[in-house]
Amino acid sequence: MEKYLGETIPKLGFGLMRLPMKEGAVDLEQTKRMVDHFMEAGFCYFDTAFGYLDGESERAAKAALVDRYPREKFLLATKLPAWAGAKSKDEAQQMFYTSLERTGAGYFDFYLLHNLGGDRTKCFDEYEIWDFLQARKKEGLIRHLGFSFHDKADVLDQILTEHPEMEFVQLQINYTDWEDPDVESRKCYETARRHGKSVIIMEPVKGGTLANPPEEVMNVLKAADPEASPSSWAIRFAASLEGVITVLSGMSNMEQMEDNVSYMRNFVPLSEEEKKVIDRAREIFNSFPKVPCTSCAYCIKGCPKNIGIFGTFQAINVYNIYRDLNAAKNKYQWNTEGSKKAKASECIGCGKCEQVCPQHIHIREELKKAAEVLE
């Protein structure tokens, strides 16, 4: 296994963004079983963030991992979102200590400025987060410092030029976004590598979308390997790229964990033949019109009408990809009224959501179109 930043890290990381839930709270018992299975299989990298599940993800990391394993047996990453509601430098910097306290980790192996790009980057400048975190690194509270990023490649190039001290970059990379002009996965990856940065990959299964591809894609994948899951193709695609420290998968149940562990335990990069299968799957996937929402939920926080934004897009994508209006309407009902969210037609067009959407979705326009089909 290659070494990155002086560490040898298995190519699968456990993303703690979509943990199993039970009665409105993180299902800690199932999370513990998943952590145990992951560790027993030889994996060690865990990725959380200050904002995941309103802080419950970091608390779950403490209960399921930090309190139950020797500190040197795992690597813990978390992230500081200076753009998410901090009203002062002190408040933004305090997020670091809050994460330290919530996780009980003592120090972070990997620490990230969360979601750079767009208007968000200036918050890290304004609140002097760059220097603040360098100082924490010198104190030994951070071992490796980097950032996660959602924007275009030229913006990444500028940030890396201004901040050569950053050790790594976390990027959204999956086989359908690879050439997507809105996401620029390939261009961002190449920019990071040109700056000599190692890469951590997030959203390799595109928020779960690639785990349940439409029939046309499924047929191509199954014809190539009847045993392999659609997720395995997506994660192996990401992990096969050169310069990748690890690939994060936001696993929500034991079944997903077992599947991921089964093929990543002895990871084999994609062969040339397998890469052609991925190319074909991408072609088919990209021929369907759909809203490229990853359900990150950044838009929801600032919405004055509490619109079920990503739930609406999940529902309209069921219609776009599977052409099943009943299933789409059921999903829509559940994701809006059923989840205490307002319907798409109640949007007042303020545009706040579009300022934070890492996928640059024209949310207002898409909500209007979705309302016409689903309401």
Which of these segments, 24-32, 108-116, 209-217, 301-309, binds ligand SF4 (CB under 6 A)? 301-309
Which of these segments, 14-22, 61-69, 123-131, 308-316, binds ligand SF4 (CB under 6 A)? 308-316
Q: Can you give the length of the chain in residues? A: 375
Q: Which pair of structure tokens corresponds to residue 132?
A: 């603040």
**From residue 319 to residue 348, what is the string marking binding to ligand SF4 with x (rule CB under 6 A)?**
----------------------------xx
Residue 32 or 305: the one with the smaller Cβ distance to ligand SF4 is 305
Binder of ligand SF4 out of 25, 223, 325, 350 (CB under 6 A): 350
Which of these segments, 16-24, 56-64, 97-105, 299-307, binds ligand SF4 (CB under 6 A)? 299-307
Q: Under the criterion CB under 6 A, does residue 298 sit at the interface with ligand SF4? A: yes
Residue 230 or 292: the one with the smaller Cβ distance to ligand SF4 is 292
Binder of ligand SF4 out of 3, 265, 352, 362 (CB under 6 A): 352
Q: Which pair of structure tokens corresponds to residue 318?
A: 């069921």
How far apart are the C-alpha atoms of 52 and 296, rounded to whole Å? 10
Shortest Cβ 185–ligand SF4 spacing (Å): 15
Which of these segments, 37-45, 80-88, 169-177, 307-315, binds ligand SF4 (CB under 6 A)? 307-315
Shortest Cβ 206–ligand SF4 spacing (Å): 10
Which of these segments, 92-100, 103-111, 187-195, 302-310, binds ligand SF4 (CB under 6 A)? 302-310
Asked whether the CA dihedral 49, 361, 185, 34 is positive or negative, the reply is positive
Amino acid identity, position 72: E
82 Cα distance to chain centroid: 18
Task: Give residues in contact with ligand SF4 (CB under 6 A).
Answer: 293-299, 303-305, 307, 309-310, 313, 347-353, 356-357, 359, 361, 363-364
